[in-house]
Chain A
Amino acid sequence: MSISSTIALRENNTVDLNWPGKVDQQNITEIQHTARMCESDRKVLDQQIDSACGRIAPLWPLKHFVAVNPFFGLSDKSFQNASDILARILGHGIYMSRDYYREQINSGRICKSDLKTAIKRSENPSLDINELESILNSPAPRANTGMAPVSKILEKVEGGLWSSFVTEQISRHCAAYFDMGQATISMPWRNDSLYTAWRKAAAIDMSPAMMGLGDFRSAVKRLPEDPREAIAWAIEHLDIPADAVERYLHASLLSIGGWAAWTRYLRWQAELNNMTDHAIVDLLAIRVMWDILLYEEKYSIALAAQWRDMLELSMRPPSAKRKAAAEIDRIMLNAMEIGFQRNIMDAIKGTLEHPSKNSSQTRPSVQAAFCIDVRSEVYRRSLETVSSGVQTLGFAGFFGIFIEYVPFAADTGHSHVPVLFNPSNRVHEEMKADEGTNKKTFSERRERLALSKMWKGFKFSASSAFSFVEATGLMYIPKLLSDSFGWTRPVPNPVTQGIKTSQAEMLSPVINPASTCCIDHKKSGIPEEEWLDHAERILRAMSMTDNFARLVMLTGHGSNTVNNPHATALDCGACAGQTGEASARVVVNILNDFSVRAGLHDRGIIIPEDTWFIAGLHDTTTDNVTLFDLELVPDKLADDLKQLQQWLEQAAELTRMQRATLMGMDGQPNKTVSKNILRRANDWSQVRPEWALANNAAFIVAPRERTRGRDLEGRAFLHEYSWQNDNEFKILELIMTAPMVVANWINMQYYGSVVDNETFGSGNKVLHNITGGAIGVIEGNGGDLRVGLPMQSIHDGVKWAHEPLRLSVFIEAPREAIDNIIEQHETVRQLVENKWLHLFQISEDGSTYRRELSGQWKIDT
């Protein structure tokens, strides 16, 4: 396809050449360049384009925002290499400033011995600690220009606001093209490719002309139709040296990094379905076209000279001085991490005996499974404090069931599985009522939703918006008051919109085919013959195969905030940015099934007759836990249930008291804290409703006994695992390839948002302006789409609420087993060996071994 269009273009141009009359110089050079580019060159360039696109991390939309490792595309490089590459593009690496690290020394967070250990492990082990401190007190080498686009060089040459103008133009084009429904009149070329749509729009758009680029519109018409062709042509024309091409392309994408991340997301989704999406290449082409068009129209000797200089400078390897400076950064980061790891190791060390021995003897009164999320750690600790008979465990919050969940009366569903996977079953939500009631409520809800859509159309139409204001605007007087006091929500709750509260309480996922589902009736629900397999797989993965309590609670989690663009970022990442109760309820449903229990019995998992599974939802904002389907709980467990509910309430209060310090409410009595936290959840002006996963730093894969009773300060992901029950280490393999990767993503999202919020974070919440309906936010008027976390999620106004540390992973399993998995999985190997995380093994006696770069395990003290 692309080859034939190349030929077509060449032929066209040749014809052009033979035309009598004016042929401008530019066209001739263009043809020569294209002609010079032979087949193999194109192949190389195609690879470079694909590789540059692969460097970008995806961005999930706000309607189901999940954490992403912003350095995802660089994980084949070492942490330091990635930092160097980014420094060559952005001008700075991915470490905190020297000021920050110095403060950590002054405050005692980094102690001398940790610093010494860090130096010893560095490439400069003879470095004197005093020398290090004096270097820290001197200013770091100045930031580079990096690999800058033409617009930035042009700004240097002649002044003006070219960079922001170009960013704005591209960003607005993308917003219009990808808009999910903010605009009433949408861009007409949304069926064309992003690049083609741009060529069509740019041929009409007069903004560049207004900025003094008189020839822009006609120049756009002359551009090659194929984006890769266009990129090839521009690269020739901009005189990019061969070795700089890939970096130039990477830099071009990063200069419009937010939308690049969005197009990368579209490709990610397509690839999950074995397809591909080329919008990211189109975006790259648009970005590069702006460079070449600016370069040509604003060409001057000064511009060309500075452009050449910039290209040369950004390709120079780091100087000795910069290398030394990077070594210092590395030592400081390591020292901080060593200090943190020491705390974890101290906590584990106390548990000398093999833990699983004493646990299996007595039957716990309740077993409660929570998501591995660091917020669960605090709650679990509280629950165990409240009652020593409760056994808690951690597991990925979708509880191993791969569902797409369709809300009641909706036509489409949402995936409720980690974004690395595709859902395999579609489960519908229905009311726990007879078919008649269901059908009636179903159509009522649809009608209400349709009415609200119609009303929205009335409110925002050019011809009716004025009458809307005069007839109904005064209704906003009481609305403003009640929203301001948190009595009402500014807009209906999406979960319960169009349905009464009493009806909403009756909603539940149905694992059998749904009666209200109309189109693919048979495809809904989970086929009964699969139930047993799911049940066995899930229980084994949770290391839950014997000694079941009478009540076993599976607890998903979700947040509870209003007027928060990033609300879904606080929900369960393992459920793809949704709340976790649906998955928990589905699994519980299967596990309570009589025939499933019988089947499990045959497969060696004996669940006592009096055991009942129960689903819950942990509200991470208020720390309340809601239980579901209580009417199904057998009567003889009524007392146990009552007891559990009491414990949950006490645990919630205890958890809130612990979180109160971080919320600036220390010293207040329990009741006040509870009231205040609830108020924050309903406050439309609250920018810090909860601290979410801030300060996460460890991932511990071990039986709970290893950490029970230890205060891990909500900094650890806890995954239940006992290797003795893991046949061929299949479960360990799963943990290291999925939950560990997800934990690394979350950890790196926080890391990136803290070290460089400008590039990898989303800036100030106070200025957020939602774009494209539910795609993402821009800051203020315009500019690029923003990725990552807002400042308010990581900073309390005085200090950082998150310590930027790489994840420290502690696994209790034989070292060879861990090594084998590292060897077999390239992604895992990269994470470990390229230093994107630290790996430790917990041995039977509670001592820990650190995995060194060489692959050797060394006992750590």
Chain B
Amino acid sequence: MEPLTNSITALLAMAAPIFLLLSGLVPSSWANANPRKMASINMIAAWLALASALLVIALFPFETSRSWHLVDFALPFNLGNFSVSIYVNSVTVIMLSLVAFVGVIVSRYSRNYLDGEINQGRFHKWLSLTLASILTLIISGNLLMFVAAWIATSLCLHQLLVFYRNRPAAVLAAHKKFVASRIGDLSLLSAVFLINDALGTMEFEELFGIMENFSGELPAGLEWAAVLVVIAAALKSAQFPFHGWLIQVMEAPTPVSALLHAGIVNAGAFLVIRMSPVISHSNLALGLLALIGLITLALAAMVMLTQTSVKVSLAWSTTAQMGFMLLECGLGLYSLAMLHLVAHSVYKAHAFLASGSVVDGFRAPSIQYKNNKITAWRKSVALVIATTITGITGYLFGITFDNDLALFAVAFIVVVALTQLLLQAMSVDNQTRFFIRATILSLVVCTAYFALHHIFELIVTPSVLPAQNMTGTWETILVISVIAVFAGLLAIQQSYKARRTTAGDALYVHLYNGFYIDVFITRMIQRLWPAPTAIKNFGESS
């Protein structure tokens, strides 16, 4: 019985991308001529992929990992072994069902949303191929196969990003992404070869096995590989200073943004989690990851607050959230990062798809809130309550801070968030009754947080290699920085509410412009590798 379920699991995992690949193989001309049919094919394929993914969940025992080799061939010059192999562990299963689910929602949405577009068929074709590539990436058991899927995802997505080739802004943003992706590809590919060079394997399973039992100084090659993986992840996840493209790809239809923000940018964190056997051994890589994440989240979260259009604001939020996820990875909190990845995906997919509803919020009965001034005394009350709630809930879920500084940082972040929630309640309404309701809500939020943390810890831990030797000083510095950043974010936002200062005014302008980083990067890229020109609208009469 066991081997049978086993091979069925493998088949099902493989089936998911294959369904979408088949849908993507439909020729563009037929697809464009039969857009409704193509949309249906795309949707059916997405449903089948989701069904396969859910069956894998049902069949797969969560505490193990398995892999299957199908085809194997050696590369020349001893470069390594390329194989078509499938690697299934709990991370695979979660990612597979997540992306398949988002795929279903996005395909369904595009069917009516793009109705009447001349290239609707082609859109569904490339949507299918993009989804197929991500799903392949997720099940890849071989590092080279992983890289191939990684590159394919980016190339297929490119076709969706330049869906409107006549829009110069679309072409420019896609080009920026193209350049960033190619640098990322190069980093990842080099990392893979370095790993093979050091360990003689390109299979995730073997890699895990070897590194699990490894101890001592990491060889230089692997150290480099770990750093290169971090760079690839940062580029994929639109981290500072290469975040510009993510902000600007609103030039593609809304469902593309939803897919991109829910299913593709988070591939950076997925890569890091997959590569945890290597990265967990490198304090340099972990530190770099945390640093990039922390800087990005601090800047992007502040910039987000100043943005005036819904999609741009959401994009900055994604950049910040990705930064947070990489920070968690850098702190060795892989299971939290995984929770964040899944929760953020579905949240952001919804936020984009529902971005046309923003106006409804302004049509609702308008109430003039008092915008109460919050005294220092009230602020301390909020802080004390938030700390108490977090402390008690955390304790009940068995979290102790004495031996893990990273968890202390995480708990502090929760305290800051709950304080913000309570302060928000105070500024909206100063009745005790309302404040009590807000406190109860804080308690619910906090409990949900720790419960989910706990569940993901159980699910994800067997699939990752925990950080091996996070040393004292470095970790202390990092944790202090995290605390400082979050305290700072809370303080800055509150101070903007409280009063105006010349420095605050100036900072506002810089924030609103995203610190000009993208203007600069754009000019650099345009100088070194200019974007192709947009194709003029064919509708114009000659």
Say whether A associates with B. Answer: yes
| Contacts from A to B (Cβ < 8 Å) | 62-63, 97-99, 139-140, 161, 164, 172, 175-176, 179-189, 200-201, 204-207, 210-211, 407-412, 445-447, 449-451, 453-458, 460-474, 476-477, 479-481, 483-484, 489-495, 497-498, 562-565, 567-568, 683-688, 764, 766-774, 778, 780-783, 792, 795-798
Give Cα A454 to B367, complex, Å. Answer: 13
Number of interface residues of B (CB under 8 A): 116
With A467-B414, A795-B116 as known contacts, state yes or no: A474 contacts B358, CB within 8 Å.
Answer: no
Expressed in whole angstroms, the minimum distance between the Cβ of B167 and any Cβ of chain A is: 7
Apart from A185-B493, A476-B343, A798-B116, 8 more pairs, CB < 8 Å: A175-B308, A210-B519, A447-B434, A466-B413, A476-B347, A481-B105, A565-B359, A685-B112
Q: Which listed segment binds A: B71-79, B128-136, B503-511? A: B503-511
* Residue B336, interface by CB 8 Å: yes
Among the listed A446, A465, A494, which residue makes an inter-chain contact with B321, where contact means beta carbons less than 8 Å apart?
A: A465
Give Cα A683 to B110, complex, Å. Answer: 12
Expressed in whole angstroms, the minimum distance between the Cβ of B89 and any Cβ of chain A is: 20
- Interface positions of B from 357 to 380, Cβ below 8 Å from A: 357-369
* Residue B384, interface by CB 8 Å: no
Residues A204 and B505 in contact, CB atoms below 8 Å apart: yes
* Residue B306, interface by CB 8 Å: yes
Give Cα A498 to B520, complex, Å. Answer: 46
Residues B353 and A469 in contact, CB atoms below 8 Å apart: no
Q: What residues on B are CB-neighbors of A494 within 8 Å? A: 360-361, 363-365
| Cβ-closest chain B residue relative to A168 | B169
Q: Which listed segment binds A: B214-222, B230-238, B297-305? A: B297-305
- Interface positions of B from 419 to 461, Cβ below 8 Å from A: 420-421, 424-425, 427-429, 434, 437-438, 441, 445-446, 448-449, 452-453
Q: What residues on B are CB-neighbors of A479 within 8 Å? A: 346, 350
| Cβ-closest chain B residue relative to A683 | B112
* Residue B63, interface by CB 8 Å: no
Give Cα A3 to B306, complex, Å. Answer: 38
Among the listed A207, A472, A764, A798, which residue makes an inter-chain contact with B513, where contact means beta carbons less than 8 Å apart?
A: A207
Residues A473 and B301 in contact, CB atoms below 8 Å apart: no
* Residue B68, interface by CB 8 Å: no
* Residue B489, interface by CB 8 Å: yes
The 6 A-B residue pairs with the shortest CB-CB distance, nearest first, are: A797-B116, A473-B343, A410-B365, A467-B417, A490-B354, A774-B362
Residues A172 and B350 in contact, CB atoms below 8 Å apart: no
* Residue B310, interface by CB 8 Å: yes
Q: What residues on A are CB-neighbors of B523 within 8 Å? A: 210-211
Give Cα A456 to B364, complex, Å. Answer: 14
| Contacts from B to A (Cβ < 8 Å) | 101, 104-105, 108-118, 164, 167-170, 173, 247-248, 250-255, 297, 301-302, 304-313, 317, 320-321, 324, 336, 339-340, 342-344, 346-347, 349-350, 353-369, 413-414, 416-418, 420-421, 424-425, 427-429, 434, 437-438, 441, 445-446, 448-449, 452-453, 486, 489-490, 492-493, 496, 500, 504-506, 508-513, 516, 519-520, 523, 541-542
Among the listed A181, A185, A769, which residue makes an inter-chain contact with B508, where contact means beta carbons less than 8 Å apart?
A: A185
Among the listed B252, B362, B453, which residue makes an inter-chain contact with A181, where contact means beta carbons less than 8 Å apart?
A: B362
Expressed in whole angstroms, the minimum distance between the Cβ of B242 and any Cβ of chain A is: 17
Q: What residues on B are CB-neighbors of A140 within 8 Å? A: 541
Expressed in whole angstroms, the minimum distance between the Cβ of A514 and any Cβ of chain B is: 14
| Cβ-closest chain A residue relative to B448 | A471
Give Cα A484 to B310, complex, Å. Answer: 21
| Cβ-closest chain A residue relative to B519 | A210
Residues B368 and A476 in contact, CB atoms below 8 Å apart: no
Residues B428 and A450 in contact, CB atoms below 8 Å apart: yes
With A62-B359, A97-B541 as known contacts, state yes or no: A769 contacts B364, CB within 8 Å.
Answer: no
| Cβ-closest chain A residue relative to B425 | A454
Residues B297 and A466 in contact, CB atoms below 8 Å apart: yes
| Cβ-closest chain B residue relative to A205 | B509
Residues A492 and B364 in contact, CB atoms below 8 Å apart: yes
Give Cα A769 to B250, complex, Å. Answer: 8
Q: What residues on B are CB-neighbors of A798 within 8 Å? A: 116
Residues A458 and B349 in contact, CB atoms below 8 Å apart: no
| Cβ-closest chain B residue relative to A758 | B537
Residues A471 and B452 in contact, CB atoms below 8 Å apart: yes
Q: What residues on B are CB-neighbors of A774 within 8 Å? A: 358-359, 361-363
| Cβ-closest chain B residue relative to A165 | B519
Q: What residues on A are CB-neighbors of B414 within 8 Å? A: 467
With A772-B308, A778-B309, A797-B116 as known contacts, state yes or no: A685 contacts B365, CB within 8 Å.
Answer: no
Residues B112 and A458 in contact, CB atoms below 8 Å apart: no
With A464-B416, A780-B250 as known contacts, state yes or no: A201 contacts B509, CB within 8 Å.
Answer: yes
Residues A462 and B493 in contact, CB atoms below 8 Å apart: yes
Residues A466 and B417 in contact, CB atoms below 8 Å apart: yes
Residues A471 and B350 in contact, CB atoms below 8 Å apart: no
| Cβ-closest chain B residue relative to A64 | B363
Q: What residues on B are CB-neighbors of A188 within 8 Å? A: 500, 504-505, 508
Q: What residues on A are CB-neighbors of B321 within 8 Å? A: 465-466, 469
Residues A454 and B343 in contact, CB atoms below 8 Å apart: no
Residues A473 and B512 in contact, CB atoms below 8 Å apart: no
Q: What residues on A are CB-neighbors of B453 within 8 Å? A: 470
Give Cα A204 to B513, complex, Å. Answer: 11
Expressed in whole angstroms, the minimum distance between the Cβ of B235 and any Cβ of chain A is: 21
With A206-B510, A474-B343, A687-B113 as known contacts, state yes or no: A172 contacts B364, CB within 8 Å.
Answer: no
With A211-B519, A767-B164 as known contacts, state yes or no: A206 contacts B367, CB within 8 Å.
Answer: no
| Cβ-closest chain B residue relative to A176 | B308
Q: What residues on A are CB-neighbors of B438 within 8 Å? A: 451, 454
Give Cα A458 to B424, complex, Å. Answer: 7
Residues B346 and A474 in contact, CB atoms below 8 Å apart: yes
Residues A182 and B350 in contact, CB atoms below 8 Å apart: no
Among the listed B110, B173, B305, B354, which residue makes an inter-chain contact with A184, where contact means beta carbons less than 8 Å apart?
A: B305
